[in-house]
Amino acid sequence: MAIAEAAEAGLDVRPLSGSLGAEVRGLRLAGAGVDEAATVTDLLMRHQVLFFPEQHLSPDEHIAFGRLFGRLEGHPNLATDPERPEFFELRATDGAGGIADEWHSDLTFQDEPSIYSILHMRTCPAVGGDTMWASMYRAYDALSQPMKELCEGLSAIHNAAPHDRAEKMAVHPVIRRHPVTGRKSLFVNEHFTRRIVELSRAESDVLLAHLTRHATQPRFTIRYRWQAGTIAMWDNRCTQHHVLDDFTGERVIQRVTVVGDRPEPAAPLRHVPHDGSRTATSWWDLPYRRFLRERAGT
């Protein structure tokens, strides 16, 4: 029996929806080691997002747990605590503060977007402030065959406009292959994805609108009701998430983020970037065209 399976034997693992998500009890994350990390990774590959209630980790325990899965990074565009640069806290109180209420996977404007995010709910509102996740495996699987074939040849520009850093950009395949499971997933999101590189502006707008809407159909999602002390850990390579801004009172979360890998296209990209340089309608594309030119070294 593999280490992961052996350690899993004493666990209570309850899937929470038909698409993704499981609640895990019987594993203490404070002081976890490589065996527990192997178990968690194995469960994460199967369920995509895991919830561990009643963990109440200190910031240092939270960081130590995160380090079991790889190198951690701070948030590139938000202030972090200088003493713990890999750790950050998001606070929202009665309309003030940041709430991630657009569907996204984390930091996709980077060449190597984060692979895992590990969140600790410190203070949660009495009601509201749930988080939703959607399975991008399911979203890919549900595309029609012609749409799969079209999307597998395409790439998209993502930028950090939501952090007022629109100049930070990266290009990723529209359909990626998960390096561990080998499964294909849809990798565009409404928060960070701006432009499909190989299509005209108008085509890109229509396809992105379709894909981002398609990706978050209720049947692909789970909605989780938090309690203080719960840890959630998700795989950004095959999920998106969205916080519900429907609460009053205070909501405080803490996060560590495991550094990413470069998304692998599910199939070779088949087209060159669209050349819209002579059309007046492409003025909005100037920063993207400049970025692609610089990236290609031309």
Residues that bind Fe ion in the complex, under the rule CB under 5 A: 100, 106
Among 55, 117, 185, 193, binds ligand AKG (CB under 6 A): 117
Distance (Å, rounded) from C-alpha 298 to C-alpha 293? 5
Closest CB 257 distance from ligand AKG, rounded Å? 8
Among 30, 63, 100, 252, binds ligand AKG (CB under 6 A): 100
By a kind-dependent CB cut-off of 5 to 8 A, residue 119 interacts, out of ligand AKG, Fe ion, none, with: ligand AKG
If the CB atoms of residues 158 and 241 are measured against ligand AKG, the closer one turns out to be 241
Q: What's the chain's length in residues?
A: 298
**Residue 256 touching ligand AKG (CB under 6 A):** no
Residues 6+ apart with CB under 8 A from 129: 226, 243, 244, 245, 246, 247, 251
Closest CB 152 distance from Fe ion, rounded Å? 26
Distance (Å, rounded) from C-alpha 249 to C-alpha 251? 7
* Kind plus residue range of the DSSP H or E element containing 205: helix 201-215
Yes or no: say if 133 and 209 are a contact pair by the CB < 8 Å rule.
Answer: no
CA distances from 31 to 41, 104, 112 (A): 16, 31, 28
By a kind-dependent CB cut-off of 5 to 8 A, residue 222 interacts, out of Fe ion, ligand AKG, none, with: none
**Burial class of 223 by CB neighbour count within 10 A (0 to 12, 13 to 18, 19+):** middle
Strands 193-196 and 184-186: unpaired
Question: Does residue 214 have an active-site annotation?
Answer: no
Choosing from 237, 255, 274, 285, which is the catalytic residue?
A: 255
Among 57, 253, 258, 292, binds ligand AKG (CB under 6 A): 253
Question: Does residue 94 have an active-site annotation?
Answer: no
Question: Does residue 104 have an active-site annotation?
Answer: yes
Per-position x/- string for 198-237, each x denoting binding to ligand AKG as judged by CB under 6 A, each - no binding: ----------------------------------------
**Residue 241 touching ligand AKG (CB under 6 A):** yes
By a kind-dependent CB cut-off of 5 to 8 A, residue 243 interacts, out of ligand AKG, Fe ion, none, with: ligand AKG
Question: Does residue 12 have an active-site annotation?
Answer: no
Nearest CA to 180 among 235, 101, 233, 224? 235
Catalytic (active-site) positions: 104, 106, 241, 255
